[in-house]
Amino acid sequence: MSAIIDVLQSIIPSAFLFATPLIFTALGGVFSERSGIINIGLEGLMIMGAFLGVVINLELYPILGSTLTPWVSIIIAAIIGSLFASLHAIATVTFRADQVVSGVAINFLALGIGLFMIKQLYGKGQTDMVQGMLRSTDIPILSDIPLIGPIFFENTYYTNWIAVILAFVVWYIIFKTPFGLRLRSVGEHPFAADSVGINVNRMRYIAVMLSGFFGGAGGAIFALTFAGNFYMGTINGQGFIALAAVVFGKWHPLGALGAAVFFGVAQSLSVIGGGIPLLDSIPSVYLQIAPYVLTILALVGLVGRADAPKALGTPFVKGSR
């Protein structure tokens, strides 16, 4: 029994840690796609967030100190991230450009801006290590609960729990509020939504900018928990995994949460499985490919049909029908 608890204690915190930036970004993806705008640019939004998070952190640390700096960096990264995402909205909503192409452009643009600015600001291709990293703590009271406490609340990050709470908040917003109803209707049937007086383009702008807000926060959190600096490879593929989590979670905030945690568990199994008594006899190749195999199996077998919002990918032209 205690062996199992040991195993859980090593896998779950690390899985959760890895999942947190994915949860943030995937929630952003849910907003955007629910409104009918494909967001391949999540990777770029995360890159932007990581870049901003690191630069702001470096600049503000001497002023704000180690407790405040990471939080302020994440919030500013999220806000500027939403402005950056508005480029995607301008391209796809106002100019009705191909949403996939625009998303790809966002990915290139974010990395280009990031590296260019780093070169201009610091004269090098990557930043120094930031001092104001997010730090793990024991959550008071909750960490004293037997069994659950050590697994979930010891040496954890507040961002982990903020991500979980946000998933529920987003679920409430999308499914229980008038705003959410409008958002969904715009993504399912924009003409019907338009006919009852909803401003389709405005809703889509808001949704895409929200995805920039969450994606920026996700990128900043990734940089401030794992990498500690910004360079070409700080974000490599996490945005696409978050996009997969959106689809895997059937465009549902709680589904996206579950999918992100699932990816986290699969990844931490593959990474730390070799150190676990039960799993160390399995050749490491199998553990390395496990996340991908598990994803395919889950998509085929467990999740069932993934129904995208009906109007996903189609620009709205008022009065075209």
Partner 1 sequence: MNKRFAFLTILLSLSLVLAACGSGGSESGSNQDCEPDSNFVKAGIVTDEGGVDDKSFNQSAWEGLQAYGDEHCLEKGEHFDYAQSNSDTEYDSNLTRLTQSDYELVFGIGYKLTEAIEKVAEQNPDTKYALVDEVAEGDNIASITFKEHQGSFLVGVAAALKTETGKVGFVGGMDSPLINKFEVGYIAGVKSIDPSIEIDVRYAETFSDAGKGRQIANSMYNSDADVIYHAAGGAGNGVFNEAKDIKNNNPDRDVWVIGVDRDQYEEGALEVDDTEYNVTLTSMVKRVDISVQDVIERTMDGEFPAGETLEYGLSDNGISAADTNEEAYTEDIKSEVEDWKEQIQNGDIDVPSTHDELDEFLENL
Where do runs of H (alpha helix) occur along 177-252?
Answer: 178-188, 190-195, 200-222, 238-248
Q: Which is nearer to partner 1, 125 or 297 (CB)?
A: 125
Q: Which is nearer to partner 1, 17 or 247 (CB)?
A: 17
Q: Which is nearer to partner 1, 161 or 231 (CB)?
A: 231
Q: Cα torsion at 280, 283, 287, 288 (round to 10°)?
A: 130
Buried/exposed 167-180: b ≥16 CB within 10 Å, e otherwise: beebbeebeeeeeb
Q: How far is the CB of 22 from partner 1 (least distance, A)?
A: 10
Q: How far is the CB of 304 from partner 1 (least distance, A)?
A: 30
Q: How far is the CB of 133 from partner 1 (least distance, A)?
A: 6
Q: How far is the CB of 119 from partner 1 (least distance, A)?
A: 6
Q: Which is nearer to partner 1, 135 or 176 (CB)?
A: 135
Q: Which is nearer to partner 1, 13 or 29 (CB)?
A: 13
Separation between Cα atoms, residue 62 and residue 310, nearest integer Å: 50
How much of the chain is in helix, strand and coil states, percent to nearest 5? 75, 0, 25
Per CB under 8 A, residues contacting partner 1 are: 9-10, 13-14, 17-18, 66, 87, 90-91, 95-98, 101-102, 105, 108-109, 111-116, 118-119, 123-126, 128-129, 131, 133, 135-137, 155, 222, 225-229, 231-234, 236-238, 267-268, 271-272, 274-275, 284, 288
Q: How far is the CB of 80 from partner 1 (least distance, A)?
A: 16
Amino acid at 20: T
69-71-72 Cα angle (round to 5): 65
